[in-house]
Amino acid sequence: MYQTSPQLDKNNRLRHLLTIDGLTREHIVEILDKAEGFFIPKSGQIIQTDTLQGKTIANLFFEPSTRTRSTFQLAAQNLSASVLNLNISHSSTSKGESLRDTVLNLQAMQCQLFVIRHGSSGAAHFVAQQVNPFVAVINAGDGCHAHPTQALLDMFTIRKHRGDFQKLRVAIVGDILHSRVARSQIHALQLMRAGEIRAIGPKTLLPAHLEQLGVKVFHDLSQGLQGVDVIMMLRLQTERMQKGLLPKGNSYYRLYGLTSETLAMANPNALIIHPGPVNRGVEIQSDIADSPNAVILDQVTNGIAIRMAVMSLLMENRLS
């Protein structure tokens, strides 16, 4: 028997956005193209539409996040949706209610789209299983599992600045093992047929079996960056340092920080990508983060358009 993905409908259209894994190249290109349509040509300004007028979007954040929550809120407001922000910490207001009950209640309040960030891998999948056919779910980061809108905005940014993925050598640098961002990026780069995908990091922080996925593994930053066209830096989770998984203080920077010296190994004009917020002097030299090839702020802008694209696509697919 053929088991359909929980995020696709029977016509293989996107029903929810839970993970990049299992999508096709066409799904991704459809979203990137739709996002492109939200920009005013040349000005770089994003338009506002009434596409989701009368719809209500619930931002369900079980992990604290100002930045990502803001991008989803702004994307929703750009589409004229009503927004309900819910920052749910364990201590506070949930009164011990289960995730399922929380979601069913919000559904009963007629929220049609849930954006969910949660510390547990699989939380967004779980929510998608609970909702009725009129509700769609977007995974805004679940544990160490996936962060699909981040990977999509990264693909949008690479396509915009460098075009054809097949010509590109792309390196992902940092704690790939625990990174939901990296996991989604690798799947997306594969679907976009990147010429070569590299993973660079300490042995303890690279997942097993990366090579079986076609990813080349490096433990030395200078070696890994050699001839690379796109450098995707990961944010260092400093709490991992405290747990002893990462070398403390600036020995990480010495080994895996992107500096003028290590950057020199990459192709001139190598594009530098970072999910933000940047830890200056921890994973990247401060002036490199501000250099013209570092498109970190452009990623933020693209993230608004990508989230608008995903939201409107899911609402369209739901209705038809």
Residues that bind a copy of itself (CB under 8 A): 45-46, 48, 54, 56, 64-67, 70-71, 73-74, 77-78, 82, 84, 86, 88, 92-98, 101, 104-111, 276-280, 297-298, 300-301, 304
DSSP reduced 3-state for 62 = coil
| CA-angle at 102, arms to 98 and 105, nearest 5° | 135
Please identify, using beta-carbon distances, which residue of 213 and 297 lies nearer to a copy of itself. 297
Please identify, using beta-carbon distances, which residue of 96 and 292 lies nearer to a copy of itself. 96
In whole angstroms, the minimum distance from the beta carbon of 316 to a copy of itself comes to 18
In whole angstroms, the minimum distance from the beta carbon of 85 to a copy of itself comes to 9
Asked whether the beta carbons of 119 and 140 are under 8 A apart, the reply is no
196: CB partners within 8 A, 6+ apart: 168, 169, 170, 216
In whole angstroms, the minimum distance from the beta carbon of 302 to a copy of itself comes to 9
Please identify, using beta-carbon distances, which residue of 38 and 165 lies nearer to a copy of itself. 38
Please identify, using beta-carbon distances, which residue of 82 and 226 lies nearer to a copy of itself. 82
What is the spatial distance between Cα 224 and Cα 35, in angstroms, rounded to a whole number?
Answer: 32
Give the position of tokens 């407001």. Answer: 77
Tell me whether strands 271-273 and 230-233 are parallel, antiparallel or unpaired: parallel
| Cβ count near 252 (within 10 Å) | 21
In whole angstroms, the minimum distance from the beta carbon of 116 to a copy of itself comes to 15
Please identify, using beta-carbon distances, which residue of 171 and 289 lies nearer to a copy of itself. 289
In whole angstroms, the minimum distance from the beta carbon of 82 to a copy of itself comes to 4
117 strand-pairing partners:
61
DSSP reduced 3-state for 172 = strand
Please identify, using beta-carbon distances, which residue of 241 and 265 lies nearer to a copy of itself. 241
CA-nearest of 150, 99, 144, 143 to 118 is: 143
Asked whether the beta carbons of 198 and 270 are under 8 A apart, the reply is no
In whole angstroms, the minimum distance from the beta carbon of 186 to a copy of itself comes to 24
In whole angstroms, the minimum distance from the beta carbon of 285 to a copy of itself comes to 15
In whole angstroms, the minimum distance from the beta carbon of 86 to a copy of itself comes to 6
Which pair of tokens denotes residue 141? 């980061």
What is the spatial distance between Cα 303 and Cα 155, in angstroms, rounded to a whole number?
Answer: 10
Start-end of H helices in the chain: 25-36, 67-78, 99-108, 123-130, 148-162, 180-191, 221-225, 238-242, 250-256, 260-263, 286-289, 296-319
Give the position of tokens 């709490």. Answer: 239
Which pair of tokens denotes residue 253? 């920077």
